[in-house]
Structure 1
Amino acid sequence: MISYLIKILKVKKGAYMKKCEGIYSLIGKVNHKSAIYGFELLKEENIHPRQMPLIIHLKKCEGCTQKELAEKMQVKPSTLNVMIGRMEKNGYIEKKQDEKDSRKSRIYFTEKGRSICEDGHKKFVMIQEKLQEYFTKEEQEELKRLLNKFCDCLDEQTEILKKERKEKSDA
């Protein structure tokens, strides 16, 4: 499968490339289908797939501040605030005032949230296992390599854009 994808990616002007309009479009399609799959898996828990990164990061640093969590997740504090509000409303997380600094609040799972976290982790493992059934070990490694290369490319291009924007505003 991955060798087939590599052949497709090497084609400059094939019919398939016109159909999916390139790598970026294909990644977007995968992301969209992944979100649909996530919606179906998480429907019962009333969790949006985009909230899973919050659950995963909070599991790693329960009791952190909202600012710390936003930095770890690489999202705007306002975006995180909406997520936290919804999850708080659903009874999955709670904010508690910091004992040492009353200006800060820390975020914790409720028992219900801890249970959702465990269920989410099990479903994530299940997804990984199901997806791995479709690829050989070699294909999995090649796909990981290519996706990491894609991420590196996006990071590099983002930094270039930030630098150019800064240079324009300084001029």
Structure 2
Amino acid sequence: MKKLLIIEDDVSFATTLVRRMTKHNFSCQQVHQADQALHACLQQKPDCILLDMKLASENGLTLIKPIRAALPKVKLVLLTGFASVATAVQAMRLGADDYLAKPVNTQMLLTALDIAPDVESAVDLDIDTMSAERVEWEHINQVLNSNDGNVSATARQLGMHRRTLQRKLQKKPVSK
């Protein structure tokens, strides 16, 4: 069983990742703050790391070099909701093994971690694919978090009316 450390400030997304990856024989641990990440790496010595690029007000890119220095053989994948060619190049130069844009499905994660899904779990990959409604809800919440809960700023950034955004936020997330 491989050890996976998930460094992600969005607790619900991290929990979703744990649930998905546990199905594929990973022993998962979570860290939600950048200042705890390096300590967790040294303590747990994971085989693989999923690192969020935006950790509250911190930048996950700054963690790549210290993690790589501490764990040179770890498989390190950077996840981001704000993908760009510039940050992808920067992440790879700093030592990331892969760079994935959120939302990410299980197949993409397993491929990035160089884990071939077995035949039995291949059926589960389709189950883990998020619905369009779930992707929208997670994206809205991610943008809302990046705007520190400011609904008006989030609505402007998403190009929708504030009331529409408030209605969408009141709905519970679709399970998948």
Task: Please say whether Structure 1 and Structure 2 have the same fold, judged by a TM-score greater than 0.5.
Answer: no
Name the TM-score class by shorter chain: 0.3 to 0.5
Greater share of helix? 1
Q: Which has the higher contact order (CA 8 A, sep 6+)?
A: 1
